[in-house]
């Protein structure tokens, strides 16, 4: 029991069963990873669905990024469970009143759609690798081609059509995947900090922001490793997309907070104590990580900055945004539990370092998708933009 619940000091009037915080940092990481997945997939949809050519250099890289992240999305929940092997019961004996239980179906469907789209997007390259590689790599790519070795123009046209159709379905699936996470918190009327109709919308918009920001950072790093200059058109397109979504997020978050203040329900004084106390640091990080990038991105879009200056400023803004969105997830998940249900007391969450819900375990979880992405990029280089690529 002690491994699952974290004892926490408290002040004011707190119920005895609230002296622990049951949802720790793993439940912060879970919606954070799902948001990164949805955001990365949105970038690929800009090209595969809307046909925006400027996103072509990063479209396939975005697909691989989404897959690498999605593989590890269930891991925080599995570690949070005392008996992770029982997770299969959520699918074998579904409990439809639980949003978390329904996640297994939504996630499985999304992974299926994502892998299909990646197969069609990379099929021509897989065939080429199968014909050029030797030894085990040749057998690997031949098996991955599934016997489809036709790379004629007619076959590639069908690949593009399938990738386009799957991307359309995938956008809806990605939004569903992350929208339900916002629904989990927004539908809980027992917590003043969570029960908001705007919560699913904020989660969706912040997911797009964090995913685009992470993709920008990874794309710049990948170009640096390959000693190539990032594509100016792609970076400018990503800048405008990041700027637009960030404006929407900031407006929605301010609107939600103003609405909370305007209602002034019983316990609003405790909410203000929460903002000035336990989550003060992460709230400040969230504010700085949103305000500074918003100002800088506005200047970049207005001036049409290109080249090295764009890379440096955009990368710095993206890092701040990635941290700010993580802080936002922390403030929602942990902050909501630090408010006592009496609305007359506060609980303080203590983040452990060791253990399956500690800082070390979370750091490994966040690093694992990056390691997998490095392997995927090695196996399926997404940088080719020749005519045969989808």
Q: What is the per-residue pLDDT across 257-272, written as a single tens digit (0 to 9) for each?
A: 888 888 777 667 888 8
- Domain span holding position 83: 23-378
Query: Cα(79)–Cα(355) distance, rounded to whole angstroms?
Result: 10
Residues 10 and 347 sit within 8 Å (Cβ to Cβ): yes
In a domain, 192, yes or no: yes
Q: Within its chain, how far is the Cα of 120 from the centroid?
A: 23
Which of 275, 274, 271 has its CA nearest to residue 287?
275
Residue 161 confidence (pLDDT) above 60: yes
In a domain, 383, yes or no: no
In a domain, 390, yes or no: no
Q: How many CA atoms lie within 13 A of 169 on its CB side?
A: 15
Q: Per the structure block, which two tokens stand in for 109?
A: 């469907």
In a domain, 385, yes or no: no
Highest mean pLDDT among 127-131, 195-199, 274-278, 381-385: 127-131
Query: Cα(234)–Cα(238) distance, rounded to whole angstroms?
Result: 6
SS3 label, residue 62: helix
- Computed over every residue of the chain, the mean pLDDT equals 87
Residue 166 confidence (pLDDT) above 90: yes
Strand partners, 121: none
Continuous H helices in 145-267: 153-186, 199-225, 232-263
Residue 318 makes CB contacts below 8 A (sequence gap 6+) with 212, 213, 214, 216, 217, 242, 293
In a domain, 2, yes or no: no
Q: Per the structure block, which two tokens stand in for 319?
A: 């890092």
Proportion of the chain above pLDDT 70, given as a percent: 94
Residue 228 confidence (pLDDT) above 80: yes
Residue 165 confidence (pLDDT) above 90: yes
Structural domain total, the chain: 1
Query: Cα(390)–Cα(239) distance, rounded to whole angstroms?
Result: 23
Interval 198-218 mean pLDDT: 93
Tens-digit pLDDT profile for residues 45-86 = 999 999 899 999 999 999 999 999 999 998 998 888 878 888
Residues 222 and 377 sit within 8 Å (Cβ to Cβ): yes
| CATH, residue 28 | 1.20.1630.10
Residues 278 and 348 sit within 8 Å (Cβ to Cβ): yes
DSSP 268-282: HHHHHHHHHTTTHHH
Q: Which residue spans within the chain are E strands per DSSP?
A: 6-7, 10-13, 20-21, 344-347
Query: Cα(104)–Cα(91) distance, rounded to whole angstroms?
Result: 7
Residue written as token pair 């029982």: 86
Contacts of 146-152 with C-beta under 8 Å, sequence gap 24+, read 146/119, 148/123, 151/124, 151/127, 151/388
SS3 label, residue 21: strand
Supply the pTM of this predicted model. 0.91
Interval 127-155 mean pLDDT: 88
| Separation in Å, CA 92 to CA 87, 95, 101, 103, 105 | 9, 10, 11, 13, 11
In a domain, 318, yes or no: yes
Query: Cα(365)–Cα(370) distance, rounded to whole angstroms?
Result: 10
In a domain, 18, yes or no: no
Could you count the other beta carbons within 10 Å of the beta carbon of residue 85? 8
SS3 label, residue 387: coil
In a domain, 3, yes or no: no
Q: Within its chain, how far is the Cα of 387 from the centroid?
A: 31
The pLDDT value recorded for residue 3 is: 45
Name which of 31-35, 155-159, 277-281 the model is least confident about. 277-281
Number of helices (H), then strands (E), in the chain: 13, 4
């Amino acid at each position: 029991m002690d491994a699952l619940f974290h004892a926490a000091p408290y002040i004011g009037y707190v119920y005895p069963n609230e002296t622990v915080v049951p949802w720790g940092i793993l439940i912060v990481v879970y919606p954070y990873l799902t948001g990164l997945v949805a955001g990365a997939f949105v970038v690929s949809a800009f090209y595969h669905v809307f046909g925006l050519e400027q996103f072509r250099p990063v479209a396939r890289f975005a697909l691989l990024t989404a897959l690498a992240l999605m593989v590890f999305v269930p891991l925080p929940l599995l570690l949070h469970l005392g008996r992770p092997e029982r997770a299969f019961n959520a699918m074998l004996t579904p409990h439809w009143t639980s949003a978390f239980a329904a996640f297994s179906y939504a996630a499985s469907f999304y992974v299926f759609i994502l892998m299909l789209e990646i197969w069609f997007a990379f099929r021509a390259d897989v065939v080429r690798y199968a014909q050029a590689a030797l030894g085990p790599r040749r057998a690997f790519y031949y098996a991955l081609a599934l016997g489809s070795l036709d790379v004629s123009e007619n076959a590639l046209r069908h690949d593009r059509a399938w990738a386009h159709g799957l991307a359309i379905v995938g956008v809806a699936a990605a939004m569903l995947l992350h929208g339900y996470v916002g629904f989990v918190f927004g539908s809980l009327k027992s917590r003043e900090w969570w029960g908001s109709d705007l919560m699913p919308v904020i989660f969706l918009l912040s997911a797009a922001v964090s995913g685009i920001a992470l993709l920008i950072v990874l794309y710049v790093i990948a170009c640096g490793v390959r000693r190539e200059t990032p594509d100016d058109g792609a970076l400018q397109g990503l800048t405008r997309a990041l700027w637009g979504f960030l404006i929407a997020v900031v407006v929605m978050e301010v609107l939600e907070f103003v609405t909370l203040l305007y209602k002034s329900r019983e316990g609003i004084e405790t909410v203000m104590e929460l903002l000035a106390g336990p989550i003060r640091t992460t709230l400040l990080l969230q504010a700085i990580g949103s305000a500074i990038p918003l100002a800088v991105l506005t200047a970049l879009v207005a001036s049409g900055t290109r080249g090295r200056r764009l890379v440096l400023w955009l990368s710095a803004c993206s890092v701040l945004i990635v941290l700010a969105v993580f802080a936002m997830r922390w403030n929602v998940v942990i902050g909501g539990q630090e408010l006592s249900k009496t609305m007359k007391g506060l609980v303080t969450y203590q983040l452990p370092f060791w253990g399956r819900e500690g800082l070390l375990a979370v750091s490994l979880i966040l690093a694992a998708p990056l390691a997998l992405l490095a392997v995927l990029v090695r196996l399926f280089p997404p940088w080719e933009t020749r005519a045969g690529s989808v």
